[in-house]
Amino acid sequence: MKLTVLTAATLTLTLALPAGTGSNPPANPYRLADRLEQAVTGEQALRHLTAWQRAADTHGGNRASGTPGFAQSADYLVRTLRQAGYRVTRQAVPYQEHQVDIERAVRLDRDVPGPRVLLMRWSPTTPAAGIEAPVVLTPTIQDGLPDPTPGCEAADYAGLPVHGAIVVAPQTSCGFVAQQRVAVALGARAMLFYVRTVRPDNIYRAYLFDPAAISIPLANVSQRDAERLAADSAARTVRLRLELRAHTAEVVTENILAETEGGRPDRVVMAGAHLDSTTETPGINDNAAAAGALLETALQLAPRQRQIRNKVRFAWWGAEELIEVGSIHYLRQLTPEQRANITLYLNYELIASPNFGRFIVDGDDSDHPGTGSGPGPLGSGAVEAVLTGYYASRGLGYETADINSIGSDHWPFRDAGIPIGGLDGGTYQAKSPEQAARYGGLAGEMFDPCYHQPCDTVASINRAEFDRNCRAVAWVVGRFAVAVGDVVAQRNRIG
């Protein structure tokens, strides 16, 4: 999952289980869902996470797209699905990658290590010899008060020697492009950004959506290293040699798809999760946990795959961390008729966060009127009702989240007009006291302190929450495998 921010305007709801199940429903439309809920456990699914942890451990500590760790993860997935009787598609996904050659910062003013730097994806790079320049810290206090948007205006740097400097700034709401534009106008040569979190040693590599708007090299550092630079700058001029180089490469990843033999081909229920990690982590909560829950659901559904009413198609995406590369490619390859046959898409992310929350996609935008990004395609509200209904009926708290606050593979399906839904367990935001009362856990701590960090391993996940969400994934897939009438009715504005 890429860096996103869950909105603060979330709302807890209590809903009954949805009643709409389409025409001629079986006597118990939830029988399959109930059976899958009992069969798909966290203990069973943990073996898949262990296999993917081993893939990372064997290949440099990550499972990023285009790496041997990802290839081993995909091979395990395909082998396991085929052994269960599925016909598996390995869809090649070509794309351009921004591959880092060197990312290094050296202190020139004193004999201490420089900060660890991560070059932003698609940032301009430094000359081969690097950049040698003094450091200027963006002020975070103005007139004795915290500045909510440091570095967003030229006045923020009043009296500071920005010309020719490397500027260190916190990530803020006006965005990298605006902050960079201000610094460039004042003569800055490069910028280092950090995220202010309750885990100041964490470092997050950012992605630039509009590289053409950036004219100087940008990289990320940790809050801790930014604070050290600030402390040293108070006593002396701090100088860095910054080396940031990368190249563009034509590479190929893959999507893994498996679907049931039975079920109506014009009523396809899709459920997906990305298989790749970032280059900095094994990626077990993000996102092997969700990938493993879907795999175990597929395995338990396999003996019944010819008897279900609606075709179920499972998808494990490549290169989600590079901004939905795999899912975008998949949808682009479909004909209009094939896209129309997809009744709904379910997406799952970070379902075993250590200090978890439960953020369900607000499909109809009913909980964020006037503040959210608007509703999903027609039918998304009915998908949301099934997910919220499940958690409410089990006495499990949840919140709904604006569609744009959870960045993942449901976005391309939304853009294609397909009803969407999904669950996210939370990333680097701090849990509020109200959320701690709802879920348990620690207020003031991140939902996942290991998000995009090397510590995102099997050892760090919340196994009890993983079990709960594995069962939820299985139940929801089983429910839609039998009944999608409520989604279809809402999609067609009938009923």
Joined together, the tokens standing for residue 465 give 């929450």
Residue in this structure with the two tokens 């709302």, named with its chain if needed = 11
Joined together, the tokens standing for residue 315 give 């998808």
DSSP summary character for residue 198? S
Helices (H), 234-324: 289-301
Dist. CA 182–CA 163, nearest whole Å: 12
Q: Please give the torsion angle defined by the CA atoms of residues 320, 323, 326 and 330, in that order, rounded to the nearest 10 degrees.
A: 130
Could you tell me the CA-to-CA distances from 455 to 53, 256, 449, 459 in Å, in that order?
11, 26, 9, 8
Dist. CA 199–CA 450, nearest whole Å: 9
Dist. CA 397–CA 384, nearest whole Å: 15
How many other C-beta atoms can be found within 10 angstroms of the C-beta atom of residue 158? 9
How many other C-beta atoms can be found within 10 angstroms of the C-beta atom of residue 231? 11
Q: What DSSP letter does each residue of 427-461 carry, written as one string?
A: -SSBPPHHHHHHH-S-TTSBS-TTTTSTT-SGGGS
Residue in this structure with the two tokens 């296999």, named with its chain if needed = 51
Q: Among residues 37, 103, 243, 320, which one is catalytic?
A: 320
Joined together, the tokens standing for residue 404 give 């744009």
Verify whether residue 280 is a known catalytic residue: no
What residues act catalytically? 320
